[in-house]
Amino acid sequence: MLRGRRVFLRALTPADYELLNRWEADAEIKNLVGEDRLNGQWPRSNRRLDLAILLAGHQLIGRVSLEEISWRARTAELKIVIGPREFWGQGYGRESIQTLVGHFFSTGKLRRIYLRVYRDNRRAIRCYEQCGFEKEGYLQSESRDGFRELILMSLEQQETA
């Protein structure tokens, strides 16, 4: 269990899947994240970590995940979805990411976290920038509707002397 100021993160349980899958089936969320980049299933693997985002009253509001984890290279890809719109833009995303990143960097388990975000997902980009992620480059992603541009962003653990 990881604690932020207003949120806490804990491992997903099967009881969370229905709500998360309902949110992730929503057309607006699919468009923001990319249909093929959402889960639908929650496989357990040493290469991924899915955490539920909860408010103080234990209300589930979303999930934050590390995928493609390389424990040897100490790198992982971050994904995050906050489901209910009324919780967007209130700093919960930022707090969840900072809590997760803070844990993995301070314990030395990871040294680089990267993510991909659609160029037109301005709220998400702003959130990631506020967490310290920097743009590294642009990728073309092909979908049913043609090509869309993704931005690759990353955050590195700061070396302390």
**CA distance to 127, 131, 146, 155, per residue, from 152 (Å):** 14, 15, 19, 11
Sheet holding 2-3, edge to edge: 2-3, 7-11, 49-55, 60-70, 75-82, 112-118, 146-156, 134-143
Angle at 103 between CA 101 and CA 109, to 5 degrees: 90
Closest to 96 in 3D by CA, of 85, 75, 84, 80: 80
> Does the footprint of ligand COA cover residue 127 (CB under 6 A)?
yes
Q: Is 79 helix (H, G, I), strand (E, B) or coil?
A: strand
In the complex with ligand COA, which residue's Cβ is closer, 38 or 69? Answer: 38
> Does the footprint of ligand COA cover residue 5 (CB under 6 A)?
no
> Does the footprint of ligand COA cover residue 17 (CB under 6 A)?
no
Judged by CB under 6 A, the chain residues 140 through 159 that form the site for ligand COA are none
Distance from chain centroid for Cα 32: 13
In the complex with ligand COA, which residue's Cβ is closer, 35 or 156? Answer: 35
Minimum CB separation from ligand COA for residue 72, in Å?
26
Which of 7, 9, 20, 29 lies at the binding interface for ligand COA (CB under 6 A)? 29
Residue nearest to ligand COA (CB): 93
Inter-residue contact 143 to 35 (CB < 8 Å): yes
**Token pair listed for 60:** 């589930």
Minimum CB separation from ligand COA for residue 108, in Å?
26
Judged by CB under 6 A, the chain residues 71 through 100 that form the site for ligand COA are 80-82, 88-94
In the complex with ligand COA, which residue's Cβ is closer, 52 or 127? Answer: 127
Which of 3, 5, 47, 122 lies at the binding interface for ligand COA (CB under 6 A)? 122
**Token pair listed for 8:** 């806490």
- Which DSSP letter does residue 25 get? T
Positions that interact with ligand COA (CB under 6 A): 29, 32-33, 62, 80-82, 88-94, 117, 121-124, 126-127, 130
